[in-house]
Amino acid sequence: MAKYIYPKIPPSAIEAAPIELAPQSRSRREALAALAAGAGAACLAPHSIAQPTSLRAPSSTSSPTPPRFRRNTAMSVSEAPNSWEEITTYNNFYEFGLDKGDPSERSGSFKPTPWSVEIAGEAAKPGRYTLEDILRPHALEERIYRFRCVEAWSRVVPWLGIPLRDVLARFEPNSRAKYVEFTTLLDPKQFPGQRSRVIDWPYVEGLRIDEAMHPLTLLTVGLHGRWLPNQSGAPLRLIVPWKYGFKSIKSIVKIRFTERQPATSWNKAAPDEYGFFANVNPAVDHPRWSQAKERRLGGGLFGARVDTLPFNGYANEVASLYRGLDLRRFY
């Protein structure tokens, strides 16, 4: 497999997140509910919801047999993982609704197979690839990662996936590929939440190419030894363990290599609250709450409050990616 050497991007080349909106006193959920109802939608560009146009279903389906994988203990934390129940019944997946229980309760009829992913932009091998094409050459790994939501809750999850860089390298990104953009399926028939203007659908996220090519970044297809359930982002999601959970986009249908920093959903919706980088940082508070501590789910009704670690505990592995970057400004 061709080894991809990613371009080094100087901090000066990175676009600043515009800081415009005044901090709001409402919770994120309340603010979203208001947006969905049309109130306060001034910060969202008006848009119409399009029907899905690009997805062409491949003829084969994903195997119903359990995934085969090897445990990567060297890339895993030693903390005890949360249970399947804890990981799959308290979710953020606004395409199914705003409540934490909506994704598990409302995603039953979602069809994650057949599935394909469009590869686009600055690469030698763009095209549409079935999920099977994408997974076939790779061995699945289990990695136990910490997961920290920007809302100050956290958990520990045994994910199953493939290092994203191994997959991306197959499409041969060129030297103009400085960022990678990811897009979730747009399909209001399957995603009831996309019928309301919560954010500018479809959900879009992005990484700098060196972040995408970092060995910790995982293209994820399962958890707890099973294929991803719908509420967790079936069949294919991103996991970037040193970043707030909103970077971990679910149900991906498009990956695009770009020269310019992609416009990402939460950054567009509330740029003063959600930066492009979104590195977990206890020293930089969200405008409406502290990020110094987090509630570890599973430890009783409210969960144990524990200190949040810089880069979610992965500083040794990733801090060097941001040398010279002002993390207060590029939050």
CA distance 331 to 318: 15
* Options 62, 248, 279, 291; binder of ligand MTE; rule CB under 6 A: 248
Taking the complex as a whole, the smallest distance from the CB of residue 112 to ligand MTE amounts, in Å, to 13
**Position 232 contacts ligand MTE (CB under 6 A):** yes
Taking the complex as a whole, the smallest distance from the CB of residue 85 to ligand MTE amounts, in Å, to 13
Taking the complex as a whole, the smallest distance from the CB of residue 144 to ligand MTE amounts, in Å, to 15
* Options 4, 6, 69, 93; binder of ligand MTE; rule CB under 6 A: 93
Site string for ligand MTE, 185-224 (x = CB under 6 A): ------------------x---------------------
HSE-CB of 15 using CA atoms within 13 angstroms? 17
Taking the complex as a whole, the smallest distance from the CB of residue 28 to ligand MTE amounts, in Å, to 9
CA distance 160 to 277: 24
* In contact, 148 and 244? CB cutoff 8 Å: yes
**CA torsion angle 319 323 325 331 (round to 10):** 0
Residue whose CB is less far from ligand MTE, 97 or 121: 97
**Position 240 contacts ligand MTE (CB under 6 A):** no
Residue whose CB is less far from ligand MTE, 179 or 203: 203
3-state DSSP assignment of residue 249 = coil
CA distance 250 to 230: 9
CA distance 247 to 169: 21
Spatial neighbors of 102 by CB under 8 A, at least 6 apart, are 91, 93, 96, 193
* Options 31, 32, 119, 149; binder of ligand MTE; rule CB under 6 A: 149
Residue 293: φ, ψ to 5°: -130, 165
**Position 249 contacts ligand MTE (CB under 6 A):** yes
Which residue number is nearest to ligand MTE in terms of Cβ? 245
- What is the largest distance, in Å, between two alpha-carbon atoms of the chain? 51
Taking the complex as a whole, the smallest distance from the CB of residue 266 to ligand MTE amounts, in Å, to 7
Contact residues toward ligand MTE (CB under 6 A) are 91-95, 149, 184, 203, 232, 245-246, 248-251
